[in-house]
Amino acid sequence: MSALLNNLKKGKVLVVGDVMLDKYLEGKTERLSPESPVPVLLPLSEESRLGGAANVALNVSSLGSKVKLLGVVGKDLSGKEIKDLLKEKKISNSLVRSNLNSVTKQRILAGNQQLLRIDREDKFSNVDWIKTKENFKKEIHKFSSIVISDYGKGTLFNVQELISLSNKKKVPVIVDPKGNDFLKYKGAYIITPNLKEFSKAVGGFNSEAELEKKAKLLIKKLSLSALLITRGPEGMTLFNKNNNQNIIKSHYAAQTIDVFDVSGAGDTVIATIASGIASKVNLNQSVELSNIAAGVVVSKLGTSSFSLDEIIPFLKGSSSLDANISMKAIHLAKKESKKIVFTNGCFDILHAGHVSYLKEARRKGDLLIVGINDDKSVSRLKGNNRPINNLENRIEVLSSLQCVDIVIPFSEDTPLNLIKEIIPDILVKGEDYKINQIVGSDFVKKTGGKVERIKFVKRLSTSNLINILKKN
């Protein structure tokens, strides 16, 4: 994952959509008005931030990718503030100056609680759209991905036209959709609705199986390559086509428990994915990183971006996710009464036997946690010539399996301490172990869990594969 961050600096992202100004007036309330039963606010601070498509551009810039912003602002004071903030953040832009008012959202807060929001907005004219489209045509060939940030404020008069132009140039389009009619986004590479938006667009659903069915139908109907549904505390679910054009489902658990404010989380997600696509980064990795970044943003007040310094701690070590974050996800799953399955191993050369074993382990519960020996631990157990693949590579391969939810490395010779921290409902090992030989079995049984064995595929092992390779 750390290498991924360096790759993002190669990306070039064009952002087009509804540009907004987010204003925050914060104060304290100690009494009610004598005129009416409403709180009296004593103002303490006032702040303006980039919102909408401008916040998406800011997030792209925070990741290190090059970015340019297209959209419309008014000739009013809010429009000037937006331009000044973009200059301050060093974000390149070509904004049409409209005779209508800039889109402005003012939030009134007391004690970190929102008391009131005041929206000032006008639907921009067809003249503003034509100018925006011309700017788009001038810039499209310079970029490797395009974000369409649609908030329904009138900037994007004809989204389909922008997508068509992008497809002709073979530039992938990432859309943050709005409204119930998603047909206007047909031909995009990926759209990223939240669960509510998705439900409205497809007509609702009553189960996870029905959600999956409707997601796959929507991909086909809109000729998408992928669909990402953001699901709040449940994380996010990605549906994307593999090389055989089969639609694969991948779920990413939320990477935060302490949610302070969800404003701007969608902007962060789409910005991260767009940066990844522009940098030729694997889509699953881009989504995983966007999940982490969104977790950082929702812990802040108001529409926010993030810095690389804020997410790097979650990427430390060789794991794609920091172990502390993984533990938070596990604790959240326990709160939701999900059944936790744990297994462990070196997984030096992943083969069909491993995959079959892990699939069977996953069927025994709702969440499969795989503990993996770090490199020094493998060397102590297997000899100085092992591992063949380093920890980072082994984690990357394991994490790519749909049946594996979380991978956590450990440095000891056994996973006993990790098992005691996780307290799994089911501990799984291969049938070559007797129950009393399985590390952690006594602890799991004492805590009310089960210990189970799974059959291995015969004659398939890492050692056998290595011996075959040596002979050849």
Gap between the Cα atoms of 147 and 270, Å rounded: 8
Cis, peptide link before residue 415, omega less than 30° from 0: no
Helices of type H across 336-415: 352-362, 375-382, 391-399
Contact of 176 with 149, CB cutoff 8 Å: yes
Gap between the Cα atoms of 189 and 239, Å rounded: 12
Helices of type H across 144-261: 159-168, 195-202, 208-222
Catalytic residue among 18, 128, 267, 375: 267
To which residue do tokens 């491993």 refer?
354
Q: How far is CA 124 from CA 51, 52, 98, 128, 421, in A?
A: 17, 15, 7, 6, 56
Contact of 202 with 218, CB cutoff 8 Å: yes
Gap between the Cα atoms of 229 and 191, Å rounded: 8
Longest dimension (CA), the chain: 91
Instruction: Give the DSSP per-residue string, 312-327.
Output: GGGG-SSSSS-HHHHH
Read off the DSSP letter of residue 29: E
* Residues whose CB falls within 8 Å of the CB of residue 197, separated by 6 or more in sequence, listed in order: 177, 178
Gap between the Cα atoms of 92 and 95, Å rounded: 10
Gap between the Cα atoms of 53 and 358, Å rounded: 42
First to last CA, the chain: 34
Element (H, E) at 289: helix 283-297
Q: Strands 367-373 and 340-345: what pairing?
A: parallel
Q: How far is CA 99 from CA 73, 93, 297, 371, in A?
A: 9, 19, 34, 60
Determine whether 181 is an active site residue. no
Residues in the chain: 472
Gap between the Cα atoms of 194 and 191, Å rounded: 10
Handedness of CA 328, 407, 198, 144 (dihedral sign): positive
Contact of 42 with 28, CB cutoff 8 Å: yes
Read off the DSSP letter of residue 194: B
Gap between the Cα atoms of 338 and 336, Å rounded: 6
Point out the residues that are catalytic: 267
